[in-house]
Amino acid sequence: MAQIRIENLRKEFGKFTAVQSSTFTIEDGEFFMLLGPSGCGKTTTLRMMAGLELPTSGEIYIDGEEVGQKPASQRDIAFVFQMFALYPHMNVGKNISYPLLSQGMPKAQVKQKVGEIAEVLGITDILNKPVGGLSGGDRQRVALGRAIVRDPKAFFMDEPLGALDAEFREHMSEELRALHDRMNATTVYVTHDQLEAIQMGDKIVVMNHGVVEQFGVPQDIYDWPATKFVAQFIGSPPMNFLDFEGTIGTGATKVQLGDVSFNVPEVREGTRGALTFGIRPEHVCLDDSAAYRGRVTATEYLGTTQIVTLDTANGAIKARLSSSDSVKVGDQTGLHFDPRTITLFNATTGQALKSAANAEVLADG
């Protein structure tokens, strides 16, 4: 097992830059998520790490060794493809044993190893079946079997659950996570599903347009997004943005939205101009006595909670409230924001302003 370090990794396809300059580190044994919208360069990044694509510049270290220009076959990693890519002309057992045959392992040992893996994955009964007729879940297991049979330094998975039915995804994601915890193998997992990333990952890199927006543990990324993009991409519904013009001095603990003033975590670097006030829906409370006013325009019932949309002087805002609160469309009410959870953004650059609350998170991101 191994630590993987990416430094200033860049990939251009002709004039198009798919990956700008990524830097992040995957620690030994981590379940690491590469998260971002479709087309942001996740697959390209993973393929460079695997050796299926050569970087334009930058370095990739696996276990301290620079492997950027090494062929895939010499990197000792395993890859689970988005569409599984099981060899169609071989049966399940042959598919799983194929990586071992390339190492010249004796037949008896191969057989034993494949048997063990099949046991772990619960596919012993289909070892002799052709891969053509398998269900999505079984294909997935065979693909995993082919990956783990070799005890590689790391596993790379490109949206491994993307081809599965929704109901099966959750089950499979639990299985995957359990498998990882059991083997403690460094795993890099690509997904565009923020929920999947937050649920499964030890650590997350959020990418957009080939740029690493933020890198850290799920909770830090959720609570203290480094950019407006991350704030919006992660969380459902996403973070609320209230746009305003103003000046914030370094050391300020209040901001002025219209004629109402809000307490915020102490600002570490002041700025002026177009700004955005960010607050997650669950940190918005309705409080009739509050000075900041809103009018309810929609409610959405979600079982134990409800999402209430309100119109304010600075734009629409969503609040996650208990379903027992009675709220009606058309209600006029006051809004209260939990001051410890507020993030301010420079609306022009999209970057979060450093504050006493997020400084630590942004420093290592």
Partner 1 sequence: MSFSVTEPTNGTKWFAGILVAAYAVITLIPLIWIIATGFKSPVDSIAYPPVIVFEPTLEGYVNLFTDRTRATPDMLEAAGPPQTWYDEIARERGTVISGPSRYGERFLNSVIIGFGSTALCMILGTAAAYAFSRFRVPLKDDLLFFILSTRMMPPIAVAIPIFLMFRNLGLNDTHLGMILLYTAVNLSLSVWLLKGFIDEIPMEYEEAALIDGYTRFQAFYKVVLPQAATGIASTAIFCLIFAWNEYAFAVLLTSGEAQTAPPFIPNIIGVNGKDWPAVAAGATIFLVPVMVFTVLLRKHLLRGITFGAVRK
The residue ranges that bind partner 1 (CB under 8 A) are 50-52, 71-73, 75, 77-79, 81, 83-89, 98-99, 102-103, 130-133, 136, 139, 146, 150, 163
- The residue among 258, 202, 278, 175 whose CA lies nearest residue 31 is 202
Angle, helices 166-183/136-148, rounded to nearest 10 degrees: 20
* Triad 108, 109, 112: Cα angle to 5°: 90
Q: Which is nearer to ligand ADP, 191 or 346 (CB)?
A: 191
Residues 186, 3 contacting (CB under 8 angstroms) = yes
Task: Collapse the DSSP code of 210 into the 3-class scheme (helix H, G, I; strand E, B; otherwise coil) and give the result.
Answer: coil
Q: Which is nearer to partner 1, 143 or 200 (CB)?
A: 143
Q: Which is nearer to partner 1, 82 or 351 (CB)?
A: 82
Contact of residue 91 among partner 1, Mg ion, ligand ADP, none (CB under 5-8 Å per partner type) = none
Residues 226, 362 contacting (CB under 8 angstroms) = yes
How many binding residues for ligand ADP (CB under 6 A)? 11
Contact of residue 87 among partner 1, Mg ion, ligand ADP, none (CB under 5-8 Å per partner type) = partner 1
The residue nearest ligand ADP at its CB is 43
**One-character DSSP codes across 34-86:** EE-STTSSHHHHHHHHHTSS--SEEEEEETTEE-TTS-GGGS-EEEE-TT---
Q: How many Cα atoms are found within 13 Å in the side-chain-facing hemisphere of 127?
A: 18
Structure tokens at 341: 């959870």
Contact of residue 85 among Mg ion, ligand ADP, partner 1, none (CB under 5-8 Å per partner type) = partner 1
Q: Which is nearer to partner 1, 183 or 290 (CB)?
A: 183
Whose tokens are 């209040």? That residue is 254
343 touching ligand ADP, by CB under 6 A: no
38 touching ligand ADP, by CB under 6 A: yes
**Stretches 36-44, 127-135, 161-169, 213-221: which one binds ligand ADP (CB under 6 A)?**
36-44
Q: Which is nearer to ligand ADP, 208 or 227 (CB)?
A: 208
45 touching Mg ion, by CB under 5 A: no
- The residue among 162, 159, 193, 203 whose CA lies nearest residue 43 is 159
* Triad 146, 147, 151: Cα angle to 5°: 115
Contact of residue 130 among partner 1, ligand ADP, Mg ion, none (CB under 5-8 Å per partner type) = partner 1
Shortest distance (Å) from residue 126 CB to ligand ADP: 30
Question: Which residue from 36, 99, 201, 281 is in contact with ligand ADP, where contact means CB under 6 A?
Answer: 36
Question: Which residue from 43, 95, 97, 299 is in contact with Mg ion, where contact means CB under 5 A?
Answer: 43
Shortest distance (Å) from residue 38 CB to ligand ADP: 4
232 φ/ψ angles, rounded to the nearest 5 degrees:
-85, -35
**Stretches 41-49, 265-273, 274-282, 330-338: which one binds Mg ion (CB under 5 A)?**
41-49
Cα–Cα distance list, 308 to 300, 313, 314, 319, 337 (Å): 6, 16, 16, 5, 14
43 touching ligand ADP, by CB under 6 A: yes
